[in-house]
């Protein structure tokens, strides 16, 4: 294990799922087959369109006696619809909100440390990890109906990593419950709850799922304690070892100096570096703050393709046709310095080829390649917006006590 990056372990069955149209049916099927426990964490839980099928599946599971726990982020999901909450409460779905923003919202230190990971574990046997929120592909909370589906991926996992996913979700639930009780000045009850959950975890042993021993994988969990840089380090190591090709699809791509230099060095030593990035305006800061870094990348020979049909929300990569990652972490300071994220890293040629094929198709048929000459001719107004977006991002990081290098 190098610099805190967990080793890849064999024995995993992996299935790539594209968009909610593939992810939701697989998720609902697993929940409907659950016997004892369903754990789900998501940044956004939007009760619109096909996302309601997931909500109903959770309700059905709770009604037949399955322990169902749902955690949503307090900024990504500021409110749950009262009618849905009433149904969940009646069915016995346990749900909690991670870090509700206070009166001053994201202006307060610590409030950008969001729960951004998207995880689900069913019966300790099947896990899901990726970038897809519980949000219909054709719906956006800010932009309304979409003409084309959002571009994103999740991963269905069977094998040893599922136990790790379950353990981290139980820890997160116990923290939320304990903090809630502490705020109500019930310190003794909170400590008792933490001890009870710890005992429950120690007493539960989940047998690993037997699967293809050639599918090696590792779970990377970024937090603000011991694992602050694990996802960035995994990217840096894969990029540094690349010999032929690096393909990255990332929604909010604002790499720091280390990642930029790694990509430039790879391109200069002859590696084909291809980026598939957000081509449609979604959020001002993330859209414009990314653009100032494009110049140095284009000058080094990095290919930049902007996804055109809809919003690109993917956070995936393939290196040398074998190393791959699927997860929730963007390559920007909000993900790499502040948010709780979860990525799965895979070493498997068949899986990597499948993901690479989809990204290659998107770059060729659904994206527009950026030309260096066109980039240099962008108008002064756009350059001004880029400067403003970068300043907003820097100020936000300063408020949170962070610097991005």
* Buried-state track 301-334, b at ≥16 Cβ within 10 A, e below 16: ebbbbbbebbbbbbbbbbbbebbbbbbbbbbbbb
Q: How far apart are CA 129 and CA 138, in angstroms?
A: 21
Annotation marks residue 313 as catalytic: yes
Catalytic residue among 12, 46, 73, 116: 116
* Catalytic-role residue among 12, 73, 118, 274: 118
Measure the CA–CA gap between 76 and 145, rounded to whole angstroms: 18
Select which of 139, 315, 348, 402 is catalytic. 315
Rounded Cα distance between 294 and 160, Å, is 39
Tokens of 358: 């989809």
Helix (H, G, I), strand (E, B) or coil at 94: strand
Where b means 16+ CB within 10 Å and e means fewer, 57-74 reads bbbbbbeeebebbbbbbb
Closest CA to 223 of 341, 111, 398, 74: 341
Q: List the one residue out of 101, 113, 116, 98 whose CA is nearest residue 400.
A: 113
- Out of 46, 320, 332, 348, pick the active-site residue: 320
Active site residue 123: yes
> Residue 337 and residue 258: Cα distance in Å, rounded?
14
Strands of 133-260 (E only): list them.
139-140, 144-145, 153-158, 216-222, 245-250
* CA pair distance 68, 59, nearest whole angstrom: 8
Strands (E), 164-293: 216-222, 245-250, 272-278
118 classed as catalytic: yes
**Selected catalytic residue, list 274, 305, 313, 402:** 313
- Helix, strand, or coil (residue 212): coil
Task: Take residue 234 and report the two structure tokens written for it.
Answer: 């995994």
Cβ atoms within 10 A of the Cβ of 4, count? 13
Backbone angles phi, psi at 274, to 5 degrees: -125, 130
Of 12, 46, 73, 123, the catalytic one is: 123
Q: Which residues are catalytic?
A: 116, 118, 123, 313, 315, 320
């Amino acid at each position: 294990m190098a610099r805190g990056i967990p080793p890849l372990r064999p024995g995993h069955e992996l299935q790539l799922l594209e968009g909610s149209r593939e992810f939701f049916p697989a998720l609902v099927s697993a929940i409907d087959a659950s016997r004892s426990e369903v754990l789900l964490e998501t940044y956004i839980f939007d009760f619109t369109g096909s996302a309601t099928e997931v909500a109903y599946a959770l309700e059905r599971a709770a009604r037949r006696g399955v322990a169902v726990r749902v955690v949503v982020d307090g900024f990504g999901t500021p409110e749950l619809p009262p009618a849905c909450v009433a149904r969940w409460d009646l069915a016995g779905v346990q749900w909690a909100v991670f870090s509700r923003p206070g009166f001053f919202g994201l202006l307060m230190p610590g409030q950008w440390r969001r729960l951004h990971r998207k995880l689900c574990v069913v019966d300790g046997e099947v896990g899901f990890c990726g970038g897809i929120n519980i949000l219909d592909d054709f719906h956006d909370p800010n932009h309304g109906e979409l003409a084309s589906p959002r571009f994103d991926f999740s991963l269905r996992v069977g094998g040893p990593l599922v136990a790790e996913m379950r353990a981290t979700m139980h820890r997160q639930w116990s923290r939320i419950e304990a903090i809630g009780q502490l705020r109500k000045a019930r310190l003794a009850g909170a400590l008792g709850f933490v001890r009870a959950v710890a005992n429950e975890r120690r007493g539960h042993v989940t047998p690993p799922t037997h699967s293809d021993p050639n599918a090696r994988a590792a779970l990377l969990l970024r937090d603000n304690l011991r694992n602050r840089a694990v996802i960035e380090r995994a990217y840096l190591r894969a990029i540094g070892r690349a010999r032929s090709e690096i393909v990255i699809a990332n929604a909010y791509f604002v790499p720091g100096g280390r990642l930029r230099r790694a990509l430039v060095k790879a391109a200069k030593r002859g590696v084909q570096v291809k980026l598939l990035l957000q081509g449609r305006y979604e959020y001002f800061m993330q859209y414009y703050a990314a653009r100032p870094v494009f110049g140095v990348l284009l000058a080094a020979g990095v290919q930049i393709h902007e996804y055109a049909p809809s919003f690109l929300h993917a956070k995936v990569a393939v290196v040398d046709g074998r190393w791959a990652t699927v997860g929730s972490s963007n390559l920007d300071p909000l993900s790499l310095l502040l948010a709780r994220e979860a990525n799965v890293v895979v070493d498997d040629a068949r899986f990597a080829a499948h993901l690479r094929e989809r990204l290659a198709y998107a770059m060729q048929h659904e994206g527009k390649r950026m030309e260096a000459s066109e980039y240099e001719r962008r108008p002064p107004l756009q350059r001004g917006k880029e400067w403003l977006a970068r300043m907003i991002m820097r100020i936000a990081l300063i408020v949170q006590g962070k610097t991005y290098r």
